[in-house]
Amino acid sequence: MSGRLVIGGREWPLTAALRAADLPGAAWAQAIGRAVETWFSEAATVELRTSGSTGRPRPVVHGKEAMRASAERTAEALGLGEGTVAGLVMPVEFVGGFMMLVRAIEGGWTLWASEPRVEVVAPEGTEFLALTPLQARASGAGIAGVGKVLLGGAAAGEGEWAGREVWESFGMTETVSHVALRRLRPGPAERAFRAVRGVTVEADGEGCLVVRAPHLFAGALVTRDVVEVEAPDRFVWKGRADDVINSGGLKVHPEEVEAAAAEVVQRPCRAFGEPHPELGQQVVLAVHGEGSPEEAEAIRAALVAILPRNRAPRRVEFRNLDQTPSGKWIRPRAQP
């Protein structure tokens, strides 16, 4: 069974015969068409761009066999069989969107697609949807009926998530989408990520995650993600080593602060360290947009009540946060 692509109520078979010229003229629809052409081309590889969240976006080349293997393991881990109805609401220029196409083509899914937006409204009967945490928070009731929601592209943090079943993924462009998953609902959220079939993990001398996935790449991939490894297929993610804030000798992961902030303010937030004469660095929370000093202090007070005092931000500021080309919010860097 071949997959099907649905845009604006019209359907096209996801086969080698599909051309970008067959699809609507909108730029996002044409990008989908070109991606399908790329997948069915004679080339053995696909070139994608990194998101830019850990540096300037750069090209990464993956073999199609590795991408097929990744798609197969996602379907296996989440129980997504032939005929699954899924949605594509991410740009296909990046791994998250491109892999949704691959899963639909290889798995024989029906894939509806719409222009990538922050707020998503999923058609009735949607069984699987991959979103960023920002999209999921903004969409609310629009995705409440989705069978399985997969969050990726940024740390999900805590909070209530819409969707009957919600999973957080761990991965990056270099790992051909995710290599581990943790369930957020139903029931209590799982603490640890579990690796998909064929993936093993360990920590290096700095406590950073090392991934081995022979079906995806040769050798070991050493990341800058600080983890607590519980077993060869299970780990707890702490944050990025490069972003750690050293405040008075205490190492604070900004992702921990951001997870707490998501319960207090419904806007993008990023925590970072700035120089402090006594502590070395102090924790600062930047909230996207404009606000008053009174609002900033109210947010800070709320976070002091949630977080251990030595991890709570000593200052909250409002500013316009920048985004990467793939839509991720960029962490500010304090001037030394």
Share of the chain above pLDDT 70, in %: 96
Reduce the secondary structure of 176-244 to three states and give it as a string.
CEEEEEEEEECCCCCCCEEECCCCEEEECCCCEEEEECCCCCCCEEEEEEEEEEEECCEEEEEEEHHHC
Q: Which helix (H) or strand (E) holds 97?
A: helix 95-107
Per-residue pLDDT at 51 exceeds 60: yes
- In degrees, rounded to 5, the angle at the alpha carbon of residue 113 between the alpha carbons of residues 171 and 103 is 45
Per-residue pLDDT at 117 exceeds 90: yes
- The whole-number pLDDT of residue 32 equals 98
For residues 119 and 287, what is the distance between their CA atoms, to the nearest angstrom?
19
- The whole-number pLDDT of residue 250 equals 83
- In degrees, rounded to 5, the angle at the alpha carbon of residue 168 between the alpha carbons of residues 181 and 34 is 95
Per-residue pLDDT at 52 exceeds 90: no
**Mean pLDDT of all residues in 215-221:** 95
3-7, 152-156, 221-225: which range is least confident on average? Answer: 152-156
Count helices and strands (H / E) in the chain: 6, 20
Domain ranges, ordered by start, for the chain: 3-239, 244-319
196 to 31, 46, 230, 325: CA distances (angstroms): 29, 22, 15, 28
143-147, 192-196, 251-255, 330-334: which range is least confident on average? Answer: 330-334
What is the pLDDT of the chain when averaged over all its residues? 92
- In degrees, rounded to 5, the angle at the alpha carbon of residue 319 between the alpha carbons of residues 318 and 322 is 145
Domain 3-239 top-level CATH class: alpha beta
Q: List the structure tokens of 102.
A: 């691959």
- The whole-number pLDDT of residue 334 equals 67
- The whole-number pLDDT of residue 217 equals 93
Per-residue pLDDT at 186 exceeds 70: yes
Per-residue pLDDT at 195 exceeds 60: yes
71-85, 228-242, 243-257: which range is least confident on average? Answer: 243-257
- The whole-number pLDDT of residue 233 equals 98
Per-residue pLDDT at 55 exceeds 60: no
Q: Is the overall model pTM greater than 0.85, yes or no?
A: no
- How long a stretch of residues is the chain? 336
**Mean pLDDT of all residues in 320-324:** 88
**Mean pLDDT of all residues in 14-22:** 97
pLDDT tier at 308 (50, 70, 90 boundaries)? confident
120-178 pLDDT, tens digit each:
999 999 999 999 888 998 899 999 999 999 999 877 876 778 899 999 999 988 899 99
For residues 153 and 118, what is the distance between their CA atoms, to the nearest angstrom?
13
Which residue in the block uniquely carries the two structure tokens 């196409």? 101
Per-residue pLDDT at 57 exceeds 70: no
Select 244-319's CATH number: 1.20.120.10, 3.40.630.30, 3.30.300.30, 3.30.460.10. Answer: 3.30.300.30
